[in-house]
Amino acid sequence: PGGPVSPVAMRAGAVRRLCSRPGPGYQQGQRPEPRTREYFYYLDHHGQLFLDDAKVKNFITCFKDAAFLSFFFQRLEPNRSGRYEGHFPFLSRCGRERNFLRCADRPVVFTHVLPGAAGNALLSYCGGGSGLAVPFRPEKLAVLPENGRLYHPAPPRAGGVGLVRSALASEWSSAFQFLQGPERPPTHFVWEGRRYRLDGELLALL
């Protein structure tokens, strides 16, 4: 195999296809080699994390501990382990424990806006509160015409692009402006009294 590929260069469509595939045969906590355990997870489009083989996936059964979620997602990276790469494209390591992840769309889902230093807002993702947050950059918001979903830059290790949860996107819907007409993607976004021109740069990664 060749050298590592920058996660930012991974196209979102390919990631979505990989993430949404059903997993191959496995057992939670399996030991493929001495002192090594493997676990398998699934992230839905609301940013909720589940054991991949959970029969019921809803708010009751998702992981909610912010410390665990922060630990898990801070260590998330493209899966180049040689195991389950085609079904679980991301991996979070904890010592000799391997935690494989597939997702409904992206491995980062922004769920809340948090106050940041000097009045600069943060976008929190995947249930981690302030432990999982990036600076909010309104001009970088991008709507993918193929699915109408909203995206924002995410940590490079996690692919560089994150999905904005639909509930949050709905809250912001009135802040978008469509100077090229309602049938075209939005051109501007108004945030805290300031009008931002959307630069569309994320679309090259989607």
What pTM does this model have? 0.85
Is it the case that residue 69 has pLDDT exceeding 80? yes
Domain end point (choices 52, 85, 103)? 103
Whether residue 200 sits in one domain with residue 120: yes
Alpha carbon of residue 65 to chain centroid: 18
- Phi, psi at 83, each rounded to 5°: -125, 125
For residue 3, the model assigns a pLDDT of 44
Domain end point (choices 68, 103, 138)? 103
Whether residue 201 sits in one domain with residue 123: yes
Give the chain's domain count: 2
Residue 36: which H helix or E strand, with range? strand 36-43
Q: Are 88 and 100 in contact (CB under 8 A)?
A: yes
Average pLDDT of span 91-111: 97
In terms of pLDDT, which residue wins out, 124 or 145? 124
Average pLDDT, the chain: 90
Task: Determine, yes or no, domain membership for 23.
Answer: no
- CA dist 105 and 92 (Å) reads 17
Domain that holds residue 90: 30-103
Task: Determine, yes or no, domain membership for 1.
Answer: no
Whether residue 136 sits in one domain with residue 192: yes
Please give the share of the chain, as a percent, with pLDDT higher than 70.
88
- CA dist 201 and 206 (Å) reads 10
- CA dist 43 and 105 (Å) reads 8
Domain end point (choices 56, 86, 103)? 103
Whether residue 51 sits in one domain with residue 138: no
- Phi, psi at 32, each rounded to 5°: -70, -20
Q: Are 149 and 143 in contact (CB under 8 A)?
A: yes
